Structure formats: structure tokens, C-alpha cells
Amino acid sequence: MIRILITILLTAIYSIGQDTRCGLILPDFNVVSEDEVCCVYVPKDGFTVYDSPNGQEIGTLLKLSDVEQDNQAPYKLYFYDSERKVQQILELSNFKEIGYEVWALTYFDRADGFLRIIDDDHNYWLDEKEIFQKGFEIETWQNFLLENSGELLGFYANEPGLYLRESPDTNAGIIAILTGDLFEIYPTTENFGSWTKVTVKKYREHPCRSNYNNPEIIESELNGWIKIVDDNGRPNVWYYPRGC
């Protein structure tokens, strides 16, 4: 019995540690006005980029386009290489749309107070201290999903689907297999490692496509547990950032 309890405790600690490795870099709206935030948003003087945690400065992430000259400027973020004195535009696909016309920087690794961004092909690291100093905050994917439950249209399981289980355990009984956008997932505040207790509405037709009155399109309502993020802390669910 003691061995089982130790195993469960170690598993929970490992999961919590993994969950912090991936997330988003978001404006702190206690510091930054929401009216200022549009499209791809960074501080006016950008973020310093390093080649590794506590490594060498290699450039800056910043906005270079002038909106008066280029109406697509709000969607453009550049890496300016300070050694070669060249700039490279970063595609929107490198960011995550978190709301209507708002994209956030994401990170996929975290070490010694630094966050790695973009992808494995780039050794781009940002200093957490600078991020906080410039009016931004760091949010794990799990916290972001929980805090935005009910704010976004709804969450839906990534392909090939998620098991809705009776308890936060991969051996627990399966209540349903959540697939597609007819199973709308609402996280609660109950968590165990990367597991979250959720309420799920099963629709006959998605509300965005239906002419039914709301009560008629809900086929059933379920409660159970899902792994809302994977073992690396990346989301196991998706959402419509722009609503219907």
C-alpha cells in the first residue's frame, strides 16, 4: 500500500513539473491596457533573445514595420540578428491565436529562468525577468485553459480523441471517448497533475451550425476526468479563438 502511495505521489510531482515546460507569454492587463493589445503583441523595445539559458545575446524580437506604410504591420514580428545586422520575419504559424485578432508568443521549454520559443530549429531563449519587467506574464497551458473556461466558445479534444474517465488515472473506467466538436469540454477547478475534472456537453448539432433552441441541441451532459495537457504540458484540446 505504501509503495502504491509513493508511486502516485511521484507521478503527480513529475506531471506537475512537466506541465510547466510549455505555455504562453501574455500581456499582464494590470500593467498593459487591453486597448493596446492587437494581433502579435510585444513591448515597443522588444525582447532580448539569447542562444541558451544564461547564454549570449544574439538579437531582439520586435516590431519593425510601420502601420502607416504597411497595413499588415500589426501581424508581423521580426527577429533582428544583432551580429549579422539582418532581420527575419516570423510567420504567424509560430504563435497561438488566443482571442479575436490576438496572437501570443508560446514557449516549449523552460530552464534556469529562461523560456525557449519558436521551434527546435531555433535556439531562441527569452529571460523570464525581462518578460515580467516589460509587463508580461508567463502562463502554463493548463492554467490558461482553466482560466478561460467559459470565456472561449468551448474546448474540444485533439484528434484522435480523449478518454473521459471516472477518476484521474489511466486505468480508471472510461465514461466516453470525446471526438470532434460535438463534445464541448468545460474544465472545472479540480486538478490532479495534468488531469482536470470537466463537464462535457454532447450536442446533436454544434450551436454555431444549428437552428435548434439551446435546450434542444444538448443530447446529454457528462462529468469526468481528462488529461487536459500531455506529458510535455502541451494542450490536448483545441478551441475556436474567434467564436462562431
- Where do the structural domains in the chain lie, given as residue ranges? 33-134, 155-239
Q: Grid coordinates representing 122?
A: 531555433
Match 527577429 to its residue by C-alpha cell.
79
Tell me the one-letter amino acid at 2: I
The DSSP bridge partners found for residue 237 are 157
The answer on pLDDT for 210 being more than 90 is no
Residue 22 has pLDDT above 80, yes or no: yes
Residue 62 clears pLDDT 70, i.e. is over it: yes
Q: How far is residue 78's CA from residue 32's CA, in Å, rounded to a whole number?
A: 21
How crowded is the C-beta side of 128, counted as CA atoms within 13 Å?
14
The answer to whether 148 and 172 have CB atoms below 8 angstroms apart is: no
Q: Using alpha carbons, select from 197, 195, 199 the residue that is nearest to residue 227.
A: 195
Beta bridge partners of 25: 105, 138
- Name residue 143's amino acid: N
Look-up of cell digits 535556439 = 123
H or E element, residue 2: helix 2-19
Convert 91-122 to b/e letters by CB count within 10 Å (16 or more is b): eeebbbbbeeebbbbbbbebeeebbbbbeeee
| Residue pair 226/198 in contact by the 8 Å Cβ criterion | yes
Q: What is the pTM of this model?
A: 0.84
Percent of the chain with pLDDT strictly greater than 90:
65
The x, y and z cell numbers of residue 147, run together, are 482560466
CATH class of residue range 33-134: mainly beta
Please provide the average confidence, as pLDDT, over all residues in the chain.
Answer: 87
Return the CATH number of the domain spanning residue range 155-239.
2.30.30
Lowest-pLDDT choice from 10-24, 100-114, 156-170, 191-205:
10-24
